[in-house]
Amino acid sequence: MIMLRPSLMVPGKKMLSARRGAVAVESAVVASVFLTLTLGILDFGLAVLNRNTLQAAACRLARSAIVRGARSADIQVPWGSATLTGHAGDGSDPAGVIAPILAVMPPDEVRIRMEWPDGDNGVGQRVRVTLNYNHDPLFGGFFGTKTWKLQAVSVMRIQH
């Protein structure tokens, strides 16, 4: 036969208050783990959103560059052969192409680099667009890093 202590056999205020304390501690532990996971998922989701937006902007800018090759002088002002650098808020033609889709990122913080690796902007040559952005997590340092360096690269062949 199992013997129980007298205080556990008769429910009273002492036993009830001791159990409430244990529930409070358990709830605090579970809630903190749940909150940490939820915030981590939110931070990661925002970084993925920024990365996808950056990649879409790089593709859009590369598509604009491939129709502004050496033979496009009568249609649009050609871009090319010299490396272009800047940021998406500087008012340049490349910045004007991507600034409207950077809704979740400040344009001044998105760095642009356009290169023509084959040396010129003739038909069939390549253009490489690289966009960089430093994503600051909502809870920087909490998950091990203060800044996430995001980069998107798009390489296409010039059509005009």
pLDDT in tens, 82-135: 899 999 999 999 999 999 999 889 999 999 999 999 988 888 899 999 999 999
For residue 65, give its domain range. Answer: 14-157
Task: Please tell me the total count of domains within the chain.
Answer: 1
- Give the mean model confidence (pLDDT) for residues 25-47: 88
Q: Name the region of 91 (left: φ>0; alpha: ψ -120 to 50; beta: rest).
A: left
Q: Tell me whether residue 85 is in a domain.
A: yes
Q: Tell me whether residue 4 is in a domain.
A: no
145 CB burial (10 A radius; 0-12, 13-18, 19+): exposed
- Give the mean model confidence (pLDDT) for residues 50-59: 96
Q: Tell me whether residue 135 is in a domain.
A: yes
Q: Tell me whether residue 6 is in a domain.
A: no
Q: Tell me whether residue 84 is in a domain.
A: yes
Contact 145, 47 (CB under 8 A): no
Q: Tell me whether residue 143 is in a domain.
A: yes
Distance of CA 65 to the CA centre of its chain: 24
Model pTM greater than 0.85? no
pLDDT at 85: 95
Q: Tell me whether residue 2 is in a domain.
A: no
